[in-house]
């Protein structure tokens, strides 16, 4: 097959043709949230214009069209990660998915003396829910540290996977360092010790082919808005055994079979975990996003982003006083950097005046910032729709801003 026409694909993203402060937008904040192609926007628009109704309730035509659109999107999303559709809970995003596991799986099981193992590179969404569980159960947190290049210290992981560990929760791809963790290997080590695994797939799905069964984890959470889908969408895959054993997280409509004041029987998974009217149009948009990525092919996306990352790494490394945090081999196209003598926020603010959108701050990863001894970094995160010319603009922008700030 011939390689994709990247400039034609870029033209699918309406916002990428706008200007900011009189300059063409250079959007380098896709790890924060990705831009959306017209196909995703059109799918949601079409849903509201032509099919809008609630799901799983009404027998009228629109009711069944809406249900089919919603369940069809679930099937396409499930196929995208190679799992059965009835094992995929639709959520509002990764944060919701992790909290669901915290409240429905961990809270009833963990007790004093139990340990939840995390890593130094986790997003707050994969830290705070576990702290809340620890407060209520008496369990405690333990943290796997990093090697200097920002990869996980696998010896430290092995040493800390002891008998008290009940859950290992870790990210597939770091949103700050770009590190891609060896998920299958990590899950194999955990399984040998009988430890349940949760993987935060937020930054993996947009950039790598993810075949969940090959990873061997117990739970896999992801968010739709980083993979070209709308905000307020996402998924949580869980092993069937867990889905059967876990009590519901939230109660309400859709998740029940029969409600009587004496007691309620619940719907089958995944519906048991989807109380209330869901984000139907959003899920339809997310289904369209999965289709869009599938049509390009995730291997093509990965190759494209690797090429852009190589150019960006080489070009930025050549800038005097610039330091990149996270250099693990095979990393995803995220570049966190610091420039000697320049505050990350000042850098990002001045880059914005050049039309260049990068994120500055702690990236919801305070413990990781502490590890590097910095309060904040600047982060340029790439997607397949970025170009080499944009990478060059970033480099020129940093050089210009550096002169202003020094
Ligand atoms: N985990 C990681 C690694 C992330 O990058 C993010 C989003 N920045 C999240 C979790 C949280 O995702 P959401 O806010 O969509 O729930």
223 closest CA partner among 275, 269, 182, 282? 282
Query: How many Cβ atoms sit within 10 Å of the Cβ of residue 277?
Result: 13
Cα 208–212–218 angle (5° rounding)? 135
Instruction: Look up residue 58 and give its two tokens.
Output: 């009404």
pLDDT at 185: 98
Q: Which atom of ligand 1 is nearest to the CA of 225?
A: 15
pLDDT at 406: 82
pLDDT at 148: 94
Please give the model's pTM, rounded to 2 decimal places: 0.97
Question: What backbone torsions phi and psi does residue 301 show, to the nearest 5 degrees?
Answer: -60, -45
pLDDT at 1: 60
ipTM of the shown complex: 0.98
Query: How many Cβ atoms sit within 10 Å of the Cβ of residue 404?
Result: 10
Ligand 1 centre distance from Cα of residue 223 (Å): 7
Question: What backbone torsions phi and psi does residue 21 show, to the nearest 5 degrees?
Answer: 50, 40
HEC secondary structure over 274-300: CCCCCCHHHHHHHHHHHHHHHHHCHHH
**Residue whose CB lies within 8 A of the most ligand 1 atoms, among 34, 94, 206, 361, for a mutation test:** 94
- Ligand 1 close to Cβ of residue 223 (< 6 A): yes
Do strands 165-171 and 334-339 pair parallel, antiparallel, or not at all (unpaired)? unpaired
222 closest CA partner among 209, 210, 208, 205? 205
Ligand 1 centre distance from Cα of residue 257 (Å): 33
Residues 6 or more apart from 171 whose CB is under 8 A from it? 119, 121, 122, 123, 126, 181, 199, 200, 202, 203
326 closest CA partner among 317, 316, 318, 336? 336
pLDDT at 105: 98
Burial class (CB in 10 A: 0-12, 13-18, 19+), 85: middle
Q: Which residue ranges in the chain fall short of pLDDT 70?
A: 1
* Distances from the Cα of 13 to the Cα of 9, 228, 359, 373, 384, angstroms: 8, 10, 20, 37, 11
């Amino acid at each position: 097959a011939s390689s994709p026409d990247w400039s034609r694909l870029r033209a699918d993203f309406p916002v990428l043709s706008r200007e900011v402060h009189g300059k063409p937008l250079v959007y380098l904040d896709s790890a924060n949230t990705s831009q959306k192609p017209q196909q995703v926007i059109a799918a949601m628009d079409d849903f509201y214009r032509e099919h809008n109704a609630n799901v799983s309730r009404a027998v009228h035509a629109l009711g069944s069209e809406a249900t089919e659109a919603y369940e069809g999107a679930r099937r396409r999303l499930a196929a995208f990660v190679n799992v059965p559709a009835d094992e995929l809970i639709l959520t509002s995003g990764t944060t919701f998915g992790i909290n669901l596991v915290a409240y429905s799986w961990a809270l009833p099981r963990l007790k004093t003396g139990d340990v939840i193992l995390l890593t130094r590179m986790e997003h707050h969404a994969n830290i705070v829910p576990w702290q809340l569980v620890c407060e209520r159960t008496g369990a405690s947190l333990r943290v796997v540290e990093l090697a200097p290049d920002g990869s996980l210290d696998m010896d430290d992981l092995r040493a800390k996977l002891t008998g008290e560990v009940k859950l290992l929760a870790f990210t597939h791809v770091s949103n700050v360092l770009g590190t891609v963790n060896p998920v299958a290997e990590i899950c194999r080590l955990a399984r040998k010790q009988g430890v349940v695994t949760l993987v935060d797939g937020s930054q993996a799905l947009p950039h790598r082919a993810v075949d969940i069964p090959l990873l061997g984890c117990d739970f896999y959470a992801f968010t739709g808005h980083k993979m070209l889908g709308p905000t307020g969408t996402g998924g949580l895959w869980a092993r069937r055994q867990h889905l059967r054993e876990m009590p519901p997280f939230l109660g309400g409509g859709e998740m029940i079979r029969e409600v009587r004041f004496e007691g309620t029987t619940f719907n089958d998974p995944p519906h048991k975990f989807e109380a209330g009217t869901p984000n139907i149009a959003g899920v339809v948009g997310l289904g369209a996003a999965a289709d869009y990525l599938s049509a390009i092919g995730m291997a093509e996306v990965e190759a494209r982003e690797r090429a852009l990352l190589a150019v960006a790494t080489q070009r930025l490394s050549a800038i005097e006083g610039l330091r990149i945090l996270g250099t693990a081999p095979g990393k995803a196209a995220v570049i966190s950097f610091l420039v000697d003598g320049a505050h990350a926020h000042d850098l990002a603010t001045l880059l914005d005046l050049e039309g260049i959108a990068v994120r500055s701050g702690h990236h919801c990863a305070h413990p990781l910032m502490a590890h590097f001894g910095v309060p904040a970094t600047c982060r340029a995160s790439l997607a397949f729709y970025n170009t080499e010319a944009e990478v060059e603009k970033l480099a020129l922008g940093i050089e210009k801003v550096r002169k202003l700030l020094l």
